[in-house]
């Protein structure tokens, strides 16, 4: 009887896990790190106050959401008014949980910054470095991002791991500023982010897919 009860409990837990999905968004194409772009042109400095990266993490009975701030970065715009190269740095210590308050908020922020996840004390910064930016072609590609204009490919470094990711984005460029927005999911385990280690049952109750929402703004350097 005890074994039957345990089996039923585990089945219920797995069912709850299966029913809770990550946000509807494009899945970033992920692979081995590639060479960063080295194009030249006009420099636009990332606005660290106006830029942010939103995140949503999903668990078996709900989800949490929050933001990271950027600590620096720049984009290079070539003579054809395209992004030629660039990078930005993410301040891991700025991790902010938006859906909780008080003690619960502090506990989750502390846990996410701990070695169980981002290990902010050892790896205080993450980085994204552009490898290529191509015009989005709706005839050959599909995206859940309404109004996608480009496909951005670059190297994302989290903790001590770097992977190439490619995702649709909306890019707007004028003489004074650049704005880039994107909404996509990544598999956190590809960067070695496993709660209590890989293949640990405790990790099964957290979705591997993490949603990222980029809102990057840059202004032409004076």
User: b vs e for 169-179, b when ≥16 Cβ sit within 10 Å of the residue's Cβ?
Assistant: bbbebeeeebb
Rg (CA), the chain: 19
What is the C-alpha separation between 88 and 66, in angstroms, rounded?
19
Cβ within 8 Å of residue 35, ≥6 positions away: 131
Domains and CATH numbers, the chain: 22-220 (2.40.128.110)
The Cα–Cα gap between 81 and 174 comes to 8
**Residue with the two structure tokens 């991790």:** 95
Averaged over 94-118, what is the pLDDT? 96
Task: Please tell me the pTM assigned to this model.
Answer: 0.88
Q: pLDDT by residue (tens digit) across 57-77? A: 998 889 999 999 999 999 999
pLDDT at 78: 97
Q: Are strands 42-46 and 206-220 parallel, antiparallel or unpaired?
A: antiparallel
pLDDT number for residue 15: 41
Query: Is residue 180 a contact partner of residue 152, using CB atoms and an 8 Å limit?
Result: yes
Which of the residue ranges 9-13, 118-122, 198-202 would you say has the lowest mean pLDDT?
Answer: 9-13
Reported as a single tens digit per residue, the pLDDT across 128-173 is 999 999 999 999 999 999 999 999 999 999 999 999 999 999 999 9
Q: What mean pLDDT value characterizes the chain?
A: 90
Dihedral sign, Cα of residue 152, residue 214, residue 88, residue 105: negative
- What are the respective helix, strand and coil percentages of the chain, to the nearest 5? 20, 50, 35
Q: What is residue 13's predicted lDDT score, i.e. its pLDDT?
A: 45
Q: Which residues contact residue 161 at a Cβ distance below 8 angstroms, ignoring those fewer than 6 apart?
A: 190, 191, 192
pLDDT value of position 11: 42
Distance CA 83, CA 88 (A): 14
Closest CA to 212 of 128, 136, 122, 131: 128
Cα dihedral: 51, 44, 126, 28 (round 10): 80
Using 50, 70 and 90 to split pLDDT, how confident is the model at 20?
Answer: low
């Amino acid at each position: 009887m005890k074994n039957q009860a345990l089996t039923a409990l585990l089945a219920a837990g797995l069912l709850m896990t299966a029913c809770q999905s990550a946000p509807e968004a494009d899945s970033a194409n992920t692979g081995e790190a590639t060479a960063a772009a080295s194009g030249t042109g006009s420099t636009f400095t990332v606005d660290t106050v106006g830029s942010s990266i939103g995140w949503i993490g999903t668990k078996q009975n709900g989800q949490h959401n929050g933001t990271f701030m950027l600590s620096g970065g720049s984009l290079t715009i070539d003579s054809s008014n395209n992004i030629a190269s660039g990078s930005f740095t993410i301040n891991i210590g700025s991790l902010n949980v938006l859906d909780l308050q008080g003690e619960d908020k502090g506990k989750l922020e502390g846990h996410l910054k701990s070695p169980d996840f981002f290990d902010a004390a050892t790896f205080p910064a993450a980085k994204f470095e552009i490898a290529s930016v191509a015009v989005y072609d709706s005839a050959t590609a599909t995206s859940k991002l309404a109004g996608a204009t480009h496909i951005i490919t670059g190297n994302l470094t989290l903790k001590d791991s770097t992977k190439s990711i490619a995702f649709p984005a909306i890019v707007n460029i004028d003489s004074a500023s650049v704005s880039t927005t994107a909404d996509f999911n990544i598999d956190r385990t590809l960067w070695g982010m496993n709660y209590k280690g890989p293949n640990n049952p405790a990790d099964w109750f957290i979705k591997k897919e993490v949603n990222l929402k980029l809102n990057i703004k840059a202004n032409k350097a004076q």
